Structure 1
């Protein structure tokens, strides 16, 4: 899982896949994979503890990841990874976020938990302006805020909705947002190194917690728990690569698509019928995401490499 080859610029083609466009596509794919992973986890957490899920899913991911990590330098690459402080912070954030999500989803419906996570793009937009020095113009802020209005419509907030599980989910969404910022700062680190660190930390956390609530899984459930890790691995790869190719403030709003999958998977697997407020909010969220996508296509002319985007359009916040 080393770096994806960068598409060559073609001046003869009427369309060239820029880094920003590819980053958006990978974020959308990553969120879909995460949503599949979340639906599987919601089903499994009813029978197994958070510690067990962390342990077995991480084992499955590490088995698949091992040959890629070996190809990219193995232990030596891990020991000499740049920005060790940020690497450790990212590991802590990743493990904490996973634990908070499964903790929340053990009490709440899948769609509710995932919807609380949709506040994330607001956190990321604010933090990317402060910590990553990304320029966020008024139009993009407006689109992000409109998307958040859609989230508020879905949540229909009241005193009853701000329960203890809801606060767990909100905290998890904030931790996830900080994780996105740190991952963007580490975009020079090999994908396999990022994944080994985060997956290995989750494995260790699971190894500590799992014995306290151990339940021997059936062969079918063991296979599903291992598959959970593989799906999460590829989802993480897509999100990590997305944050390397494009500014966090551009790609993270596509986290809003999580709501669409929550509605679909909740209906198919958990027989949850979406309310009208959910459908209205989803429509607003989709519109805001499409606005950001098409606006980015007009800001960077086709065939222009992302490294030159600031020369072509000085307001483009993309960083090399």
Structure 2
């Protein structure tokens, strides 16, 4: 980036562009979640994901053309690439299946625990060292999940279990993405879109409901919002340090509560709110400890 860019100098250094893009991305994802829940009152998850993926493919077409077929052939660890897209497809399908039955705030709360699961899975899959402080935060985060689940014969339902399983798949997909960090963003995103498209093609014909023109347009917009939201978050992380922008992802729960109430009349239970607060606190603490470790490693040792 040239020094004449308006994003250089004090404005870029302040972190304002990165924060703005992160908030924009989270806002679009939140609107997408609410739009998806509204459409799922009439249409299936498979149909929704099929039309969303077709819309996303059209939007991504110029970038796919620019990347070329060789970018996909050269992608490292093809087996792990398949595992990653399978996990990402599962987590998306499970999220929207769960959100068609549960309030937005409940489903989003389960998914906010993803970074906590990542810490636990990283020990096994990435051989990362996790100290007792972060393990304590993981256990506290699990306690928050249990509170949000409100385990009882009446509330421990199949949709809640699906949401919980989906959040674990989400965490596993994040870990596999770490393992594939040499893969370009275009290939990673295109792989996810292609997998959900195949899922929709294979399953949507069995549950197809002919959409109205308006609903078809909303489903297409659903795909546009997904790609633009992801682009906003990627730009956020490119322009501003993750330590500055990552905590803003937790505004998801604020949007979920607000949209859930405004659109669907859902009022989250007190235990859900307490569980969400515990999960957010544990997630922020884990993130802070990871940033501390990175800083300590980067800081040169000075001998007296």
For Structure 1 versus Structure 2, the TM-score category normalised by the shorter chain is 0.7 to 0.9
Contact 2:150 2:156 in 1 (8 A): no
1:213 CA displacement: 2.0
Contact 2:105 2:268 in 1 (8 A): no
Contact 2:56 2:223 in 1 (8 A): yes
Paired with 2:28 and 2:98, the residues of 1 have a C-alpha distance of 19
Residue number among 77, 80, 86 corresponding to 1:86 in the alignment: 80
Residue number among 181, 189, 192 corresponding to 2:183 in the alignment: 189
Paired with 1:88 and 1:294, the residues of 2 have a C-alpha distance of 32
Corresponding residue for 1:100? 94
Distance 1:173 1:188, change over 3 A: same
Corresponding residue for 1:312? 299
Paired with 2:291 and 2:168, the residues of 1 have a C-alpha distance of 29
1:17 CA displacement: 7.8
Corresponding residue for 2:48? 53
1:290 CA displacement: 4.7
1:60 CA displacement: 1.0
Q: What are the ranges of 5 or more consecutive residues in structure 2 without an aligned counterpart?
A: 4-8
Contact 1:153 1:281 in 2 (8 A): yes
Distance 1:26 1:218, change over 3 A: same
| Cα RMSD after superposing both structures | 3.9
Residue number among 34, 40, 43 corresponding to 1:39 in the alignment: 34
Paired with 1:89 and 1:244, the residues of 2 have a C-alpha distance of 26
Corresponding residue for 2:213? 219
Moved more, 269-278 or 136-145: 136-145
- Secondary structure of 2:154's counterpart equals coil
Paired with 1:312 and 1:193, the residues of 2 have a C-alpha distance of 34
Contact 2:91 2:169 in 1 (8 A): yes
Contact 1:107 1:165 in 2 (8 A): yes
Distance 1:104 1:37, change over 3 A: same
Contact 2:247 2:284 in 1 (8 A): no
1:190 CA displacement: 1.0
Paired with 2:128 and 2:248, the residues of 1 have a C-alpha distance of 17
Contact 2:113 2:283 in 1 (8 A): no
Distance 1:281 1:100, change over 3 A: closer
1:223 CA displacement: 1.6
Paired with 1:92 and 1:275, the residues of 2 have a C-alpha distance of 33
1:205 CA displacement: 1.4
1:89 CA displacement: 1.0
Corresponding residue for 2:6? none
- Secondary structure of 1:272's counterpart equals coil
- Secondary structure of 1:267's counterpart equals helix
Corresponding residue for 1:317? none
Q: How does 1:215-254 map to 2 (within 5 A)?
A: 215-237=209-231
1:45 CA displacement: 0.8
Per the normalisation by structure 2, the TM-score is: 0.79
Distance 1:126 1:144, change over 3 A: closer
Per the normalisation by structure 1, the TM-score is: 0.76
Residue number among 156, 160, 167 corresponding to 1:162 in the alignment: 156
Residue number among 257, 268, 278 corresponding to 1:263 in the alignment: 257
